[in-house]
């Protein structure tokens, strides 16, 4: 389990398939099979990536357990090619854990929409901002509990909770879709918080599919 942000994590639950799986998905075209990954197989993976023969990369499938703020999950779940199961605020009481950015991540934005650059606020502003966020968290949680105490259903009471509350989900995703996620979310243009998760996932898969990962990097980090 790799810690991300103040209370979050990403964990590789399991993984099905590897570089050899990609090779043999492709070799199916010729009714052939490799038993290990050598220079010929590395060349084939490079060729598949370069020419965007994407389906063999759908062979390896990964399951991740993720804990992140709701606003990160909201962006994450825009990635439709994959499966999600999330902690339910209808069935379970939410957990009192809120994301508060580190001082250097209380950012200021400059420029036009879509081309923003972000710089840290002064320490004074950051500390005031963090106080406001913490105050809001405490109040929202108190209101949530008051609604529950009144007998209001969890699915209604949760309406007062802010999007920096942590949620948890399981994500099942194939490598092709994962490359697309990494291409978009490890990128400097992605929001800093989701980027931290993407960068950790990127580290994890480098070890599991080293040849495919290298081919992805060599081809300009474009998903096949």
Ligand X SMILES: Cc1cc2nc3c(=O)[nH]c(=O)nc-3n(C[C@H](O)[C@H](O)[C@H](O)COP(=O)(O)OP(=O)(O)OC[C@H]3O[C@@H](n4cnc5c(N)ncnc54)[C@H](O)[C@@H]3O)c2cc1C
Residue closer to ligand X (CB basis): 137 or 177: 177
What own/partner pairs with CB < 8 Å and gap ≥ 24 does 38-42 have? 41/211, 42/211
CB of 183 to ligand X, least distance (A): 9
Q: How far is the CB of 170 from ligand X (least distance, A)?
A: 16
Question: In whole angstroms, how close is the CB of 46 to ligand X at the nearest point?
Answer: 21
- Give me the residue whose beta carbon is nearest to ligand X: 80
* Residue 176 near residue 223 (C-beta atoms within 8 A): yes
Q: How does DSSP classify residue 198? A: H
Site for ligand X in 162-221 (CB under 6 A): 177, 180, 184, 189-190
Q: How far apart are CA 148 and CA 160, in angstroms?
A: 11
Tell me the H-state helices in the chain. Answer: 19-27, 39-50, 70-76, 123-149, 154-157, 175-185, 192-208, 210-218
137 vs 180, beta carbon nearer ligand X: 180
Q: Which is nearer to ligand X, 158 or 195 (CB)?
A: 195
Alpha-carbon distance of 13 to 148, in angstroms, equals 33
Looking only at residues 73 through 92 of this chain, which bind ligand X when binding is defined by CB under 6 A?
A: 78-81
Q: Torsions phi, psi of 144, nearest 5?
A: -60, -50
Active site residue 52: no
Catalytic residue from among 90, 185, 189, 221: 185
Instruction: Tell me the catalytic residues.
Output: 185
Contacting positions for ligand X (CB under 6 A) = 78-81, 177, 180, 184, 189-190
């Amino acid at each position: 389990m790799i810690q991300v942000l103040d209370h979050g994590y990403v964990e590789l639950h399991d993984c099905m398939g590897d570089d050899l799986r990609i090779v043999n998905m492709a070799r199916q075209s010729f009714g052939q099979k490799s038993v290990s990954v050598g220079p010929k197989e590395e060349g084939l993976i490079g060729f598949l990536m370069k020419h965007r023969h994407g389906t063999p990369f759908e062979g390896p499938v990964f399951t991740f357990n993720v804990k992140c703020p709701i606003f990160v999950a909201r962006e994450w779940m825009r990635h439709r090619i994959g499966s999600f199961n999330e902690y339910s605020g209808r069935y379970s009481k939410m957990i009192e854990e809120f994301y508060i950015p580190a001082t250097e991540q209380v950012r200021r934005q400059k420029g036009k929409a879509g081309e923003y650059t972000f710089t840290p606020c002064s320490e004074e502003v950051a500390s005031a901002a963090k106080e406001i966020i913490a105050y809001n968290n405490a109040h929202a949680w108190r209101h949530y509990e008051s609604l529950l105490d009144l007998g209001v259903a969890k699915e209604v009471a949760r309406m007062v909770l802010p999007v920096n509350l942590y949620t948890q989900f399981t994500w099942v995703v194939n490598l092709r879709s994962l490359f697309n996620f990494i291409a978009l979310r490890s990128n400097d243009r992605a929001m800093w918080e989701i980027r931290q998760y993407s960068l950790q996932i990127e580290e994890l898969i480098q070890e599991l599919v080293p040849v495919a990962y290298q081919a992805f990097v060599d081809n300009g980090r474009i998903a096949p």
